[in-house]
Amino acid sequence: MTRPLKLITVFMLTLLTSSLLFTGCSRHPQPAKETMTSEASTPYQFPMTMYVKEEMPGFQKGASVTVLSLDGPLAITQEGEIPFANLEQQRSSFRLTIHSLDAATIRILNIKPKYDDGMWLSPGKYHIEVSKPGYQTYKKWIVIYNDKELNIKLNKSVFAANGSVTWQKKRDTFSSDGLVWYNLDSDEKMTWQTANEFCDNLSITTYGFNIKGFSLPNDSELLQLAKNRGAIEYQNAIYWSSTTDADHQSYAKYVNLNTSEHSWYKKHGKTYVICRHHVEYSRHLSVQQLASALIGKTTHRDTSLIPIENGLSDNERALNAFEMALFIKYGDPLVQNVVYDADKSRLVFELVSQNRTAEGKPLYRREITLEVGKNEVQRMQKQLMDPAFEPIVEFEIINGQLNFVGI
């Protein structure tokens, strides 16, 4: 009886132990692993530069801050504490500021939000527009990848001009090679000193503009004028230049504009005077573009072409600018290659500009046909071929576009 009792006791102890172990496992689970948030486990290395995403007290949007360490959700910086979630390693938006004339309207055409000075934009391309009544609208695509500040100056608009303008040859004033020339009456001669003073004080009004800033031309400019223009109005006309003999200060150079002869002459002697004004403009501008630039000229500009505005409407000032642009860019209108077509009873000729390209081609060229009766042919042909003939060419301006009307 003793052995069976021992086996029963062992079985009971084993069953009890298993029950205790099972009960212990269900009541005491193993603790979960904790996520480390200490500085040792962060992927960032401090100190590091980061950028503020949204403005908050003490921190401006887009400003850079130096993060020294983390304290839970807060970043410790030299400027104070800030939520780490409000920082980014690279800026995601930038400021755009556009300066222009007062009352100008500024728009960004390819986004819905209205423009505001210093507005925040994501990196990318933006189509900006700056407009103001009476001025040409400015449009341009820009790329934003950092803070951008633009200064935009609008040009006064002449493209709304409507009316008629003329292009004509004048005896005393003409343009050539980017210069405006004023030819003093041939009967009046001056000493070299008086000629300089006369040009310095010269002020003329033509095509609705007041022109100042004349000076005596140098010998190279006079020789180029003779080459460009051929014979001037006066036969054997000898003109003063500003060029002085370096070894003999009492002598200055003269130039004969008909023969291109040039030599030295005593300054106290008297001869003819022609003055020149340098017009600063790009030779690539069209007449319309040049007119637009001229209408915006003011007294503080380098070029002293001052539009006369008193009592004139915007349209009248714009038409004056077109006439001045024709005068400056094209020079005088000339007639060449006059041919009589007897079969059709008409005169055919070319209307060209005095001013030419670097290759020698007229800047303006147009073939003109005139119906002429037989009894008028010789008279009109002689008039057209006369070097002293001063044609007057009429253009019509419709919405700023130049259209030939007649001669």
Of 308 and 15, the one with more pLDDT: 308
On the question of pLDDT at 208 being above 60, the answer is yes
Q: What is the mean pLDDT of residues 322-338?
A: 91
pTM over 0.75: no
What pLDDT shows up at residue 148?
A: 95
Q: Does 304 score more than 60 pLDDT?
A: yes
Q: Which residue from 201, 165, 197, 170 is spatially nearest to 183, judged by alpha carbons?
A: 170
Structure tokens, 277: 């004004």
Residue range 371-380: mean pLDDT, rounded: 82
Return the pLDDT at 90.
93
Give residues with Cβ within 8 angstroms of 158, minimum separation 6.
288, 291, 292, 295, 318, 321, 322, 400
What pLDDT shows up at residue 300?
35
How distant, in Å, are the alpha carbons of 60, 277, 287, 299, 402 from that of 329? 53, 14, 7, 21, 14
pLDDT at 5 > cutoff 80: no
Summarised one tens digit per residue, pLDDT across range 223-279 is 999 888 766 666 668 999 999 999 999 999 999 988 889 999 999 999 999 999 988
Q: Minimum mean pLDDT among 55-59, 94-98, 327-331, 369-373: which range?
A: 369-373
Please say if the pLDDT value at position 34 is more than 50: no
Pairing mode of beta strands 87-88, 48-52:
antiparallel
Between residues 291 and 49, which one has the greater pLDDT?
49
Average pLDDT, the chain: 84
Distance CA 212, CA 308 (A): 13
pLDDT higher at 53 or 172: 53
Share of the chain above pLDDT 70, in %: 84
Q: Distance between CA atoms of 328 and 303, rounded to whole angstroms? A: 13
Instruction: Please check the confidence at residue 1 and state whether its pLDDT lies above 50.
Output: no
Q: What is the DSSP letter of 231?
A: S
- pLDDT value for 401: 84
